[in-house]
């Protein structure tokens, strides 16, 4: 109506929602830009000799042995190493032999929560999204413990990952929060990643210099 002094219909703010959270678009853009730069820097810092990598990984596995006692009835989600991440497959095999259920994350669809499936040293594997090996079959399970690979970690134990947001998206939707342990090489600490509403902090973080941080 030409004489309507109230104005039009209420504006839609859906464009300011990110994963269901109201976020200032400029802030989200600045944080994303900062994280991309830090991710590039920290991934480059992972370059090391095979001997250095083996030594650093051994420290991380020894740290896991100190803080986790795998046993029957326990489910532990780990990960398949990519992009120079610490290779925990020897520890996974040992924990499986101790009776724990070892799970691997599976991307079932882009921008959707992960699914965790049973893994064993001899289970059939297939190539998932981005060509990452995943268990070929099996039902989704809920982990008691999640071990998440770190690109970076800040002083409040917020994790900088590979940028897909899959862990945060998944952990935020679990009905019962698991114990979440970030795992990474030394030198990946940041003052802050500028946490956004959807970011989920780690309960603990293990680094290859022996650092064990927790809330």
pLDDT computed for residue 21 by the predictor: 55
Which residues does 17 contact at the CB level (< 8 Å), separation at least 6? 23
Q: Which two tokens stand for residue 17?
A: 């929602």
Nearest to 39 by CA among 151, 127, 199: 151
pLDDT digit string, tens, across residues 71-124: 999 999 999 999 999 999 999 999 999 999 999 999 999 889 999 999 999 999
Gap between the Cα atoms of 85 and 79, Å rounded: 9
- Tally the C-alpha atoms within 13 A of residue 213's C-alpha that lie toward its C-beta: 18
pLDDT digit string, tens, across residues 149-207: 999 999 999 999 999 999 999 999 898 999 999 999 999 999 999 999 889 999 999 99
pLDDT digit string, tens, across residues 158-168: 999 999 999 99
Residue bearing tokens 């030594």: 55
């Amino acid at each position: 109506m030409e004489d309507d002094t109230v104005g039009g219909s209420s504006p839609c703010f859906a464009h300011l929602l990110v994963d269901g959270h109201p976020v200032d678009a400029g802030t989200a853009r600045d944080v994303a830009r900062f994280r991309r730069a830090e991710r590039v820097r920290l991934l480059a810092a992972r370059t090391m000799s095979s001997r250095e990598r083996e030594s650093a990984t051994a420290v991380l596995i020894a740290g896991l042995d100190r803080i986790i006692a795998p046993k029957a009835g326990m489910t532990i989600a780990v990960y398949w190493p990519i992009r120079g991440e610490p290779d925990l497959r020897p520890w996974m095999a040992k924990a499986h032999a101790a009776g724990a259920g070892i799970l691997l994350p599976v991307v079932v669809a882009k921008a959707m929560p992960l699914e965790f499936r049973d893994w064993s040293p001899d289970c059939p594997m297939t190539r998932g999204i981005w060509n990452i090996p995943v268990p070929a079959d099996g039902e989704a399970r809920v982990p008691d413990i999640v071990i998440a690979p770190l690109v970076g970690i800040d002083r409040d134990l917020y994790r900088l990952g590979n940028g897909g947001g899959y862990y945060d998206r998944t952990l935020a939707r679990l009905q019962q929060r698991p114990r979440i342990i970030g795992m990474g090489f030394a030198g990946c600490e940041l003052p802050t990643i500028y946490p956004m509403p959807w970011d989920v902090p780690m309960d603990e973080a293990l680094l290859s210099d022996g650092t064990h941080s927790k809330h």
